């Protein structure tokens, strides 16, 4: 029997809530223009790379952006606390995980998360004024928006798989009470 410390559980659930808030607010922002493009520009008269069959709603972006960035800041601070603690306490060990699990977590941590964050920052006219290299990295503003959308979709997919697995293996309680039953 091992335990998830209070800090691991607290950061985990804060992360869960901010992730949900990011996903919901992301959809709210998307509804204003559910068309995607490749390259630098994209607007009503240019052909879309693809278009989602969603009803355009222009009135949800205000709170959508506000919630998106509030949740993003909370996720960033929360993530820093978690990683700092993990490094200090040598929490990051892989021996408890299976190969596939390991691959999934590593690709999220070093692939999807950084790509989602960096493409999100590429949509900021202020951040890109300071770091125009972001445009070069992702091939333009609209490409960054499209990649942001797909990377976020994959993160949601990962969340669904993660939640399904923990429910199937009866591990949800361990992230609440901290108690992990081991065979």
Partner 1 sequence: MISRRKMIASIPAAGSLLLTACKDSLPPTYGSLFDLSNTVTFASHRVLLRNQPLVREFARDRITKNFPAINETNPKDDRYQHLLAGAFAEWRLPIAGLVSRPAELSLDTLKRLPSRTQVTQHNCEQGWSAIAEWTGVPLGRVLQEVGMSLHARYVVFHTVDGWWDSLDMFDALHPQTLLAYGMNGGELPVRHGAPVRLRVERQLGYKSLKFLSRIDVTDRLDDVEDGTGAVGAAYGYSWYAGI
The binder of partner 1 chosen from 11, 82, 115, 141 (CB under 8 A):
141
Q: Give the footprint of partner 1 on residues 38-67 (CB under 8 A).
A: 40-45, 58, 61-63, 65-67
CA distance 175 to 182: 14
CA distance 174 to 7: 13
Q: Which listed range, 101-109, 119-127, 163-171, 175-183, lies at the site for partner 1 (CB under 8 A)?
A: 119-127
For position 33 contacting partner 1 by CB under 8 A, the verdict is yes
CA distance 86 to 183: 25
Nearest residue (CB) to partner 1, 70 versus 175: 70
Count of residues engaged in binding partner 1, rule: CB under 8 A: 35
| Token pair of 153 as six digits | 């979709």
For position 100 contacting partner 1 by CB under 8 A, the verdict is no
Nearest residue (CB) to partner 1, 74 versus 104: 74
Q: Give the length of the chain.
A: 183
Nearest residue (CB) to partner 1, 112 versus 145: 145
For position 99 contacting partner 1 by CB under 8 A, the verdict is no
Nearest CA-CA partner of 36 in 182, 132, 162, 142: 142
Angle between helix 141-168 and 6-30 (nearest 10)? 130
């Amino acid at each position: 029997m091992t335990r998830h410390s209070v800090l691991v559980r607290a950061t985990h659930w804060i992360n869960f809530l901010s992730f949900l808030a990011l996903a919901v607010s992301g959809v709210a922002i998307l509804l204003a223009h559910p068309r995607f493009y490749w390259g630098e520009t994209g607007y009503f008269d240019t052909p879309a790379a693809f278009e989602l069959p969603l009803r355009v709603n222009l009135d949800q972006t205000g709170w959508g952006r506000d919630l998106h960035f509030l949740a993003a800041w909370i996720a960033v601070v929360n993530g820093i606390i978690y990683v700092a603690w993990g490094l200090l306490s040598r929490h990051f060990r892989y021996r408890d995980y299976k190969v596939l699990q390991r691959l999934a977590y590593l690709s999220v941590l070093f692939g999807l998360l950084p790509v989602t964050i960096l493409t999100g920052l590429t949509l900021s006219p202020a951040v890109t004024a300071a770091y125009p290299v972001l445009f070069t990295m992702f091939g333009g503003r609209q490409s960054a928006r499209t990649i942001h959308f797909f990377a976020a979709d994959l993160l949601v997919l990962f969340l669904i798989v993660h939640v399904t697995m923990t429910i199937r293996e009866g591990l949800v309680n361990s992230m609440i009470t901290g108690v992990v039953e081991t065979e």
